[in-house]
Amino acid sequence: MAEIINGKELAKKIRLQLKQKVEELKNDGVQPKLSVIMVGNDKASEVYVRNKSKACNEIGIAFEEYLLPEETTGEQLLNIIETLNQREDVHGILLQSPIPKHLDIREAFNYIDYKKDVDGFHPINVGKLAIGEAGFVSCTPAGVMEMLKEYNIEIQGKRAVIIGRSNIVGKPLAQLLLNENATVTVCHSKTQNIEQIAKEADILVAALGKPKFITANMVKKDAVVIDVGINRTDDGKLVGDVDFENVEKVASYITPVPGGVGPMTVAMLMRNVVRATKLSII
């Protein structure tokens, strides 16, 4: 039976460490602040933003929210970002996705000052990750790496397979694992023989958003299985992309949903805000 990687507990530990760091910053006269922009009414986004706000409150990071109406224009959105870029009291800026279809999310992400880009989506931060330089790293992949580290899971020389190639999860995670000397394969919706490729993995990451996609027959004995997926079933339950019940019998380590990668994502966001604050006073 696999050991459960407890993201909830690890995230709590990280939040406690961050609280201490925020205290120190406050003693030096600096109050870290995160500004979140939300456009339109997306129910899931409201929950995510509420969780981020709660985490900020717990750690002592100031939090402010801009709730913009559905009909916001591209120019209005960029103007708000520009104001936040200029404000010295704001250290982190986060544009919650999705945003309405008439707006260009890439243009908006690119407009955020890369030094306040706590989501790690700005091309400068993406580029820094690609060449192995310090920058802001996308929170979910950073959270996955932190879990592997906490549980002393060896990465070097291991075969890692990631299913999903999004800009916010699959691609940056591939880069992070590569930087730690794993041999990385990234699968996507056009990949052929995915079961066979998955079965070769020492570290298997599911980040595609399809409930129970990873079944026990796709997992090598004693593989480490990381479930990034968040899906809501018809009866309102949260499930990942992995058939947890059966895969935990084959894997050596496994992350649950909920209580796995999700809380780590928020903890890494908090870490990025603290980091952005520190960098702003150097």
Q: Indicate the residue type of 64.
A: E
Task: Check binding of 49 to ligand NAP (CB under 6 A).
Answer: no
Cβ proximity to ligand NAP: between 78 and 268 the closer is 268
Residues 146-165 that bind ligand NAP (CB under 6 A): 163-165
Sheet hosting strand 253-254, strand order edge to edge: 3-4, 253-254, 224-227, 203-206, 159-163, 183-187
Beta carbon of residue 169, minimum distance to ligand NAP (angstroms, whole number): 4
- Answer for the pair 182, 261: CB distance below 8 angstroms, yes or no: no
Burial of 222 (0-12, 13-18, 19+ CB in 10 A): exposed
Which of residues 11, 208, 226, 276 is near ligand NAP by CB under 6 A? 208
Cβ proximity to ligand NAP: between 19 and 210 the closer is 210
Q: Which residues of 25-42 are buried (b: 16+ CB within 10 A; e: fewer)?
A: beeeebebbbbbbbbbeb
Task: Check binding of 259 to ligand NAP (CB under 6 A).
Answer: no
Beta carbon of residue 115, minimum distance to ligand NAP (angstroms, whole number): 23
Only one residue has tokens 């929210």, namely 65
Closest CA to 49 of 97, 14, 103, 10: 97
> Pattern 102-141, binding to ligand NAP, x per CB under 6 A?
--------------------------------------x-
Task: Check binding of 230 to ligand NAP (CB under 6 A).
Answer: yes
Q: Could you give the residue numbers annotated as active site?
A: 52, 96, 119
Cβ proximity to ligand NAP: between 100 and 209 the closer is 209
CA-to-CA distance for 5 and 147, rounded, in angstroms? 7
Cβ proximity to ligand NAP: between 228 and 273 the closer is 228
Stretch that binds ligand NAP, among 27-35, 175-183, 185-193, 242-250 (CB under 6 A): 185-193
DSSP state of 204: E
Cβ proximity to ligand NAP: between 215 and 231 the closer is 231
Which of residues 80, 103, 205, 207 is near ligand NAP by CB under 6 A? 207
Task: Check binding of 229 to ligand NAP (CB under 6 A).
Answer: yes
Task: Check binding of 72 to ligand NAP (CB under 6 A).
Answer: no
Beta carbon of residue 32, minimum distance to ligand NAP (angstroms, whole number): 21
- Answer for the pair 223, 252: CB distance below 8 angstroms, yes or no: yes
Task: Check binding of 270 to ligand NAP (CB under 6 A).
Answer: no
- The verdict on whether omega for the bond into residue 258 sits within 30 degrees of 0, i.e. cis, is yes
CA-to-CA distance for 236 and 221, rounded, in angstroms? 32
Count the helix, strand and coil residues of the chain and give each as a percent rounded to the nearest 5.
45, 15, 40
Chain centre distance of CA 61:
19
Beta carbon of residue 219, minimum distance to ligand NAP (angstroms, whole number): 15
* Positions that interact with ligand NAP (CB under 6 A): 140, 163-166, 168-170, 187-191, 194, 207-210, 228-231, 261-262, 265
